[in-house]
């Protein structure tokens, strides 16, 4: 496998090895947190009181890993396009801007982890989300605009923004006695869970559609609209039958 193929595999491998197991644990702790909260007024619950803080700790890791994996997924096609077209010779400012956006997005996420007052959380959540969105609309990213409803890109973008919002609203969930923020959190994250399932499905589909680098020149000759490839058997060298 060439270095190019290995770099392409980093994103799906990290998603499968790190992000999806984390989603499983976060979901488990979320269900236990809710069950415990609903059981507690009517008597003693068997569920450990630590489930809420475990959900929060792992949720914080989940936000970081989802943003990280999304940025990695975007960096590969954007970087490939820049290298392929030698963009820095024709549009040097665009290349600097893209680098700046990657750094600003990561910096804003770090500051979001540290922010406490609501306005800083809103500003850094906004900046992180904006960074991911702006990077998503750069040249080279395969967005599947004509089939947006089954697009790995759009599902990933929305799921990433929902994780950023979850991190930004933690303090509000704890402070709010009316439970409105808690309900908003549940609603948004049920949607995020569905989108994560979608990411699993659309990601494996996309992986199947991307050829290894040595196969690419051959597959480039195929007609992807009509789903046909040149007849390979007609191009094979004619081998004369052995003389007996």
Per CB under 6 A, residues contacting ligand HEM are 8, 11-12, 15-16, 19, 23, 26-27, 30, 33-34, 37, 52, 55-56, 59-60, 62-63, 66, 69-70, 73-74, 76-77, 141-142, 152-153, 156, 159-160, 163, 166-167, 170, 173, 182, 185-186, 189, 192-193, 196, 199-200, 203-204, 206-207, 210
Looking at the Cβ atoms of 30 and 98, the one nearer to ligand HEM is: 30
Q: How far is the CB of 139 from ligand HEM (least distance, A)?
A: 12
Dist. CA 134–CA 108, nearest whole Å: 14
Looking at the Cβ atoms of 13 and 96, the one nearer to ligand HEM is: 13
Looking at the Cβ atoms of 73 and 131, the one nearer to ligand HEM is: 73
Q: How far is the CB of 243 from ligand HEM (least distance, A)?
A: 50
Q: How far is the CB of 157 from ligand HEM (least distance, A)?
A: 6
Biggest alpha carbon distance in the chain? 93
Q: How far is the CB of 237 from ligand HEM (least distance, A)?
A: 34
Q: How far is the CB of 231 from ligand HEM (least distance, A)?
A: 29
Looking at the Cβ atoms of 79 and 107, the one nearer to ligand HEM is: 79
- Three-state SS for the chain is CCHHHHHHHHHHHHHHHHHHHHHHHHHHHHHHHHHHHHHHHHCCCCCCCCHHHHHHHHHHHHHHHHHHHHHHHHHHHHHHHHHHHCHHHHCHHHHHHHHHHHHHHHHHHHHHHHCCCHHHHHHHHHHHHHHHHHHHCCCCCCCCHHHHHHCHHHHHHHHHHHHHHHHHCHHHHHHCCCCHHHHHHHHHHHHHHHHHHHHHHHHHHHHHHCCCCCCHHHHCCCECCCCECCCHHHHCCCCCCCCC
Q: How far is the CB of 151 from ligand HEM (least distance, A)?
A: 7
Q: Are the CB atoms for 125 and 171 separated by under 8 Å?
A: no
Dist. CA 196–CA 189, nearest whole Å: 10
Looking at the Cβ atoms of 181 and 233, the one nearer to ligand HEM is: 181
Looking at the Cβ atoms of 24 and 92, the one nearer to ligand HEM is: 24
Looking at the Cβ atoms of 81 and 91, the one nearer to ligand HEM is: 81
Q: How far is the CB of 73 from ligand HEM (least distance, A)?
A: 3
Q: Are the CB atoms for 71 and 135 separated by under 8 Å?
A: yes
């Amino acid at each position: 496998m060439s270095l190019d193929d290995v770099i392409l595999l980093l994103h799906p491998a990290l998603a499968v090895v790190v992000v999806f197991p984390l989603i499983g644990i976060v979901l488990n702790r979320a269900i236990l947190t809710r069950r415990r909260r609903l059981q507690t007024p009517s008597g003693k619950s068997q569920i450990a009181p630590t489930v809420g803080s475990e959900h929060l700790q792992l949720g914080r890791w989940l936000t970081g890993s989802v943003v990280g994996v999304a940025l990695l997924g975007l960096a590969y096609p954007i970087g490939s396009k820049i290298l392929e077209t030698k963009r820095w010779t024709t549009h040097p400012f665009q290349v600097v801007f893209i680098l700046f956006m990657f750094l600003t997005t990561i910096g804003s996420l770090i500051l979001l982890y540290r922010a406490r007052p609501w306005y800083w959380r809103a500003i850094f959540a906004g900046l992180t989300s904006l960074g991911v969105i702006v990077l998503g609309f750069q040249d080279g990213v395969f967005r599947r605009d004509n089939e947006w409803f089954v697009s790995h890109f759009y599902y990933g973008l929305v799921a990433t923004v929902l994780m950023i919002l979850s991190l930004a609203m933690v303090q509000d969930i704890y402070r709010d006695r009316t439970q409105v923020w808690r309900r908003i959190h549940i609603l948004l994250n049920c949607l995020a869970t569905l989108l994560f399932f979608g990411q699993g499905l659309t990601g494996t589909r996309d992986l199947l559609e991307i050829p290894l680098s040595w196969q690419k020149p051959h597959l480039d000759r195929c007609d992807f609209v009509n789903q046909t490839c040149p007849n390979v058997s007609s191009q094979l060298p004619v081998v004369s039958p052995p003389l007996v």
